[in-house]
Each structure stands twice: as structure tokens, then as C-alpha cells.
Amino acid sequence: MDDRICAGFAGAVGRTPLIRLAGFSEESGCDILGKAEFMNPGGSVKDRAALYMVLDAERRGLLGPGGTVVEGTAGNTGIGLAHICNARGYRCVIVIPETQTREKIDLLRTLGAEVHTVPAKPYRDPDNYQKIAGRMAADMDNTIWANQFDNTANRQAHYETTGPELWEQTGGRIDAFVAATGTGGTLAGVSRYLKEQRRDVRCILADPSGSGLYRYVTTGHPEVVGGNSITEGIGSTRVTANLEGSPLDDALMIPDQEAVTTVYRLLHAEGLFLGSSSGINVAAAMHVARQLGPGHTIVTVLCDGGGRYYSRLFNAEWLAGKGLHA
């Protein structure tokens, strides 16, 4: 087949553009580059992990024709899995905390996933959404629990695809890579790959308030700092198998208002309609640019599109209720 034509949904995952953010670059004197993961066919960075986890299970004989994929997800992994399940003939069962946006939950149902919304509970609680998903899968035949947090096929997706794409797209001219993390897959996989190419590429975590990972990177122990964040899909109170052992140099904590201001600037001044984790990432890239000084290349991730957050991030009243503003 002509290599300009991709084979189905799976073939269209990855090889996303790397966008130079003009205003942010001009202001900082650095090249601020965003990997356009919202352009994946399922609309987020999680398409890569979802695809790798399904292919890995197929390869290992754990998932056969007519099988079922079960996952606990804040939304984007579930959306990626639901697309892949449709394309490959699997049933998709999703357990999602009821605190996630209506848009993501509605989209999952539209895609045909069987969606179970559950009360948001911390990881230590046996009724945490990830643990419920694990128990559901254990009771079903020809079924896998994708287990994105501790299944390192997730990190492998970024080690084998996102990292090499960034290296190739920049011609190896990367001074720093900075990204927020949920499962750790993106940050761990990309950081490992980049450090293997050049050990002095700085790899930095961007963390929202209420997460424990900033302290994990800076002190070695996960410990929650700050209150609740409005960001979705990022921040964690535990070190997942995917994040464990990542070659990280530093961490930054980004307040919600800075993330929101950055999201609106991306929308109005760069023409990019993105979600809150992209705001955290670009805000963090600007901090790194100020630390390194002009003339450096800083790469980050534009994780998903703003359409998943109309009712919150792009709703002035909702923002005001959280003490935030556009």
C-alpha cells in the first residue's frame, strides 16, 4: 500500500505535527514547540497508549476475536480504546469517575462503550475507579483490563513513537522536554528516549496543585501539595509502574489560574483550542524558557482539544465558581 495511506484507525495514530507557538516563542526568545496530540484520530495523546495496550494484549494471546477491553479512565484513554475496539470488533467497558466532564462521558456512550460512572474515590479506597475496572475484568472471559497506570505498554508507545518523532522533527535540537503526567506514560516514555539520544536534554514534570508528583520528583516521596485542581487527566498521588524510574531532572507546579490564562492565550493568539493539561504544559514550557534563557528549544505536549471541556474550562460562570477567570 502507498505509504501515504494509513491502515484504518490504528494506522492514523501518531505522526502528529510539531507546532511552533509563535507568540510564546517570541516572548521567551526560545522555540516553544507543542506536539499536536489533539490531532490523533481519537482526539488525544492517549490514542497511542490505547493502541499499544490492545496490540500488546493481542500479541500475548490475552485478547481474541469478540473479546472485551475494560478500563478505568478519566476519559481520554477510554475514548481511544472505544475507537480501537470499534475498529477491531471488541466490546469496550469503561469505568469513569462521575466528576469527569459530561462531554467525555457522552462521547464514550456515543462511541458505543458500556460506561459505568462511579463516585470519585482516592486510590487507596477499594472502590476507586481503577480498582473497580480491575475487578470487573477479572470476572469476565476473553477480557483484558487495559490497566493504563501500571501496564508499561503505555510508556512503550511513547518510547517507540512520540520520542522518536520529536527527535526527528527537531533534528535532535531539543534542550528540554516538559509535560504533565497522569499515568506517566508520555513523560516516562519520551524522557527515556530523549535521554538515550542526548543525556543533557532536560526532562521536567509539570504538575497541577493537589498532585503528589511534584514532591516525588523534588524529594523522592509522593506528597500532595496544594488543593484541588480543575485540570483533568493529570496529577497523581502515587508513583505508577509507568512513571517509576523516569529520568527526570526537575518538576514545576503550575497554579490553575496560570493554566487557564495559558489555555485562553493558546485559543485567541495561537488559534489552538485545547484542554487544561495543554495549558499546564505550555505554561511550564515558558517557566523552563525563563530558566534556560533565550535561544533554547523547549518541547511540550498539546494533549487534547478544548471541545471536551465546554461546560467547564470554557464556561465563564463555572470558572468564576472556582475563583478563576479567562
What is the set of active-site residues?
46
Considering the complex, state which of residue 14 and residue 233 has its C-beta at the smaller distance from ligand PMP.
233
Q: Does 78 bind ligand PMP (CB under 6 A)?
A: no
Q: How far is the CB of 270 from ligand PMP (least distance, A)?
A: 18
Q: How far is the CB of 182 from ligand PMP (least distance, A)?
A: 3
The secondary structure of the chain, three-state, reads CCCCCCCHHHHHCCCCCEEECHHHHHHHCCEEEEEEHHHCCCCECHHHHHHHHHHHHHHCCCCCCCCEEEEECCCHHHHHHHHHHHHHCCEEEEEEECCCCHHHHHHHHHCCCEEEEECCCCCCCCCCHHHHHHHHHHCCCCEEECCCCCCCHHHHHHHHHHHHHHHHHHCCCCCEEEECCCCCHHHHHHHHHHHHHCCCCEEEEEEECCCCHHHHHHHCCCCCCCCCCCCCCCCCCCCCCCCCCCCCCEEEEECHHHHHHHHHHHHHHHCCCECHHHHHHHHHHHHHHHHHCCCCEEEEEECEEHHHHCCCCCCHHHHHHCCCCC
Q: How many CB atoms lie within 10 A of CB 295?
A: 11
Q: How far is the CB of 302 from ligand PMP (least distance, A)?
A: 9
Q: Does 182 bind ligand PMP (CB under 6 A)?
A: yes
Q: How far is the CB of 259 from ligand PMP (least distance, A)?
A: 11
Considering the complex, state which of residue 25 and residue 130 has its C-beta at the smaller distance from ligand PMP.
130
Q: Does 285 bind ligand PMP (CB under 6 A)?
A: no
Report the C-alpha gap between 63 and 65 in whole angstroms: 7
Report which of 183, 181, 272 is spatially closest to residue 231, judged by C-alpha positions: 181
Residue of 80, 208, 275, 279 interacting with ligand PMP (CB under 6 A): 275
Residue of 161, 186, 191, 229 interacting with ligand PMP (CB under 6 A): 186
Q: Does 208 bind ligand PMP (CB under 6 A)?
A: no
Considering the complex, state which of residue 47 and residue 296 has its C-beta at the smaller distance from ligand PMP.
47
Return the residues of window 14-73 that contact ligand PMP according to CB under 6 A.
44-46
Number of residues in contact with ligand PMP, rule: CB under 6 A?
Answer: 19
Report the C-alpha gap between 240 and 253 in whole angstroms: 19
Residue of 34, 184, 208, 210 interacting with ligand PMP (CB under 6 A): 184
Residue of 163, 185, 210, 235 interacting with ligand PMP (CB under 6 A): 185
Report the C-alpha gap between 278 and 37 in whole angstroms: 10
Interacting stretch for ligand PMP, rule CB under 6 A, among 28-36, 109-117, 174-182, 195-203?
174-182
Return the residues of window 302-321 that contact ligand PMP according to CB under 6 A.
303-304
Q: Does 76 bind ligand PMP (CB under 6 A)?
A: yes
User: Mask: binding to ligand PMP, 98-137, rule CB under 6 A, as x and -?
Assistant: ----------------------------------------
Considering the complex, state which of residue 67 and residue 72 has its C-beta at the smaller distance from ligand PMP.
72
Binding site for ligand PMP (CB under 6 A): 44-46, 74, 76, 180-187, 233-234, 275, 277, 303-304
